[in-house]
Structure 1
Amino acid sequence: MTVIRDYIENSDEAISLAIREAQVEGMKPQVTELFSVIIDTVSQREVEKLVAAAAKSQYGKDAKWDIGHWWQVVVPLPRYESRSLPALIIETRAYLVAPAEVSPGCSRRWWPITLVEPVGKPQLVVLPLCFLLALLDGNEDRYRIVGKDGQWTLREIAGLKQPLRLHDDLVDGLRHVFRMKPVADWLDDFGPRGHRLVPLVVGSLLGLMYQGESASVPLERQAYSQEMLIEIITSMGYGIARARRVLERAEPELGPQMTLEEATRVVLKYISEEG
């Protein structure tokens, strides 16, 4: 529990406090909003109980309090797993941010405070990269729906022991995000933690993308060309101008004898440094 001797008044301040409480650096507010749909809302009674405990701990057992508008903020922490089925795993933790005015029992004066407290249990969102690629391509319908649970949809994914369960609003939100920006930029929104995942996630997505290609020469043996590298970069959602900029920065490390796979690894490093 953290009690701040100040009264916050808007959601931007609430998100900033929750991110700070989670000790995460560089995370953008829109990332927290995307994952807010998957958590259960804290009841007013639970909020009052937590604020009461905070007020009494700071101002004594006879303290009085008045709760203002409160927020529940989700802080998502991404990681990459490659075992069995490559996936982006998002651990989400909800934080209550509740401003209030408190008065000691012996005083008529009221003091502003804001309570920041983790609530509920952390939840995991599993995003197999094959499904993420399907979202990017707009063909997630290729995965058979095997059940519905309210606003949660269950899909059959080869390699998963159980159906993939995702909230419909989260899938819609991801679909919208990927129309607006490349996956690498979205991962950067998570801060340094997400930035470190860019080469792993984007590299795996590219591998999946080229698995379906019918080229007679395997990817690890194909010679690269600038046109092929630009096509790879733009296929991830980047514009031509940005693709050429990445390629210019990577050029000193691109040897003439490199394969397409080796050249792609070099390019990925410079994509992760873009921003």
Structure 2
Amino acid sequence: MAHTAPEYNPRIWNSSCNYTVQGIPASLFFARTNRTVDDPSLFEVDNATMFPLSPAYRAAPDMAVKACFGPGEQLNHTLVAAGIKMPCGYSVRGGQVRYWEENACRETITSNCYCYAINKVGWSGGYCMPGYRKEGDDVDFASCADAVSKIELDGAVPVSKKRVYSAEPPPGQHYIAMVLWPEGRDYHFFRRDADGSWSHKRGDTFVTNTYLNGSSLTDVEDTAILGAYKQFCGYFLVNPERHALTASYYAYQQSFVKRLAELEVQPGVRLDIVRLPHPSRGWAKFAYK
């Protein structure tokens, strides 16, 4: 019988775009705001600049724009890979700024590990949340028992490891695996693909089917891939057509998407998005440091 699991196809998920913003008042581009978030190491910090579109805490936490390539500078992948610069740049003319950035396309940014595991491409509106039904629902994952109850509510069926590795899934269905980071109250999912290997997607980054050293991901219980997600919660059978996925705006705090929305309503500011023919080398090096 033919395998019904999804084919591993990173071209569908690993899309990069060039975001160009024109007509930004220089006073706005270089101004500081009073944005705050729960974890300033991940997103904006007090008195951070509104631009660039992505937080540059790794390269220049004192003023994000310093991490971009300024007027007359060209994109240098070596500097990006070293964490000195980001794949972004700007020029100033007549009191207005033209800004560009290479980043993942929106469908890549708004699809997390759960969306990917269920094989829902380009899920919009936020991250897919296990057991989530409406704003304000409890999304705490303190134990495997809590996490399993939530994905069962969505339609996942627990199965044994023996079945995953010895029996083909029914037509239109496939196997996934779930791990947990108890201290961080967070989860992660892997998907078993048609070739028998596993693949996954970390948050808003690209999908992969290898370990960091490049070898194939064949054992999702291997501590080398689990990292902080040290509790393995089990294997499950899912049916993408019947699985009840719900996106959470509340849980999804990706600042890049929020800033895009803010840009699009600024008077006189124009945002152009062009899909790149290949994944951005600069952005991938920055995102996976």
TM-score greater than 0.5 by the shorter chain: no
Please identify which structure carries the higher helix content. Answer: 1
Smaller-chain TM-score bracket: under 0.3
TM-score of the two chains, using structure 1 as the length reference: 0.20
